[in-house]
Amino acid sequence: MGKRVFREGVRILTRLCVLVLVVAVGLCSELRVRVRLSDGLVTEEVLEADSERDTISLEFKQGDGTLITFVADFKQDVKIFRALILGELERGQNQYQALCFISRLNRNEIIPSESMARLRQKNPQAIRLAEERRGLEQLTMSAAVNLSRAWQLSSHIHNMCSEAREAIYTREADVKHWLDKGVDASIFEVLPQTTEAASFKACHSTKDLWQPCLCTYSLRLEWYPCLLKYCRSRDTTGKGSNYKCGIKSCSKGYHFTYYVPQKQLCLWDEET
């Protein structure tokens, strides 16, 4: 009787789980999740996992129409952020402007691609709120990346960043790491100094649209699976064991600072 009650309790808890890891053949690689952005608007995130290529991607549209794409390449330990920003046509910009930011991927940032591919949700219409709101990460992007040679860092950069050909950035610390691993130095171009630079003003305080300045761009991944959760069970002999039974969700913001040759390329960064 006791074992039956225990099993029934486990079934009830399983039904209550909104997101669970399904260990089964024929894994689904796409998950659509509704999330609330910081401006209060609700958007749909599309998360895709490819366990063979060992990647996870996340994409959503912001309230201003900007399309944000994030890719985690676990094979190369590289993460890629892309922003497709609607241009201001009346101010001489193109229809949209593309930015790409590339940096090293830490293993504890997001769950493995194999686990992501097994993820399901019970109620697709629910609006998700992240369980943990991680701190804002400040990134000074002091080098440009050559698109034609970027395959040495990740095979996904070319497809992700082809529209941002002249606006692909990375950090000095990441450049040093990749050079130590044998990556060709010709991939990178050091940009004018972006820290403690008296000669360059922040773009938001620069009046001349054709002057170089330091641009900033911020984005936030409102909801993504950052950690695996484990539950404990016991067999008929009473021996306990842990198994994967769900995920912990996180939200994280990123603030990028980088050099642009003219303020015209950074019109969103203005004083209000």
Residue 201 lies in a domain: yes
**Beta strands, E only, the chain:** 19-21, 30-36, 42-50, 55-61, 67-73, 78-86, 96-104, 119-121, 127-128, 132-133, 137-141, 143-145, 168-170, 188-190, 213-234, 240-260
pLDDT recorded at residue 5: 36
Report the DSSP pairing between strands 55-61 and 240-260: unpaired
pLDDT recorded at residue 270: 72
Residue 270 lies in a domain: no
Residue 66 lies in a domain: yes
Residue 7 lies in a domain: no
State the virtual CA torsion across 62, 205, 166, 210 in degrees, nearest 10: 130
DSSP labels, 29-87: -EEEEEEE-TTS-EEEEEEEEETTTTEEEEEEE-TTS-EEEEEEETTTTEEEEEEEEEP
Selection from 44, 49, 88, 50 nearest residue 67 by Cα: 44
pLDDT recorded at residue 272: 43
Selection from 68, 146, 41, 57 nearest residue 105 by Cα: 57
Contact of 119 with 225, CB cutoff 8 Å? yes
Contact of 103 with 82, CB cutoff 8 Å? no
Residue 132 lies in a domain: yes
Selection from 36, 39, 116, 34 nearest residue 74 by Cα: 116
Low pLDDT (below 50) residues in the chain: 1-18, 20-28, 197, 272
List, for residues 57-104, the tens digit of each pLDDT value. 999 999 989 999 999 999 999 999 999 998 776 666 677 899 999 999
First to last CA, the chain: 68
Selection from 194, 231, 230, 232 nearest residue 213 by Cα: 194
What's the token pair of residue 157?
A: 């950069």
Question: Could you give the number of structural domains in the chain?
Answer: 1
pLDDT recorded at residue 86: 86
Selection from 211, 218, 216 nearest residue 263 by Cα: 211
Residue 1 lies in a domain: no
Query: What is the domain range of residue 227?
Result: 28-265
Residue 157 lies in a domain: yes
Residue 177 lies in a domain: yes
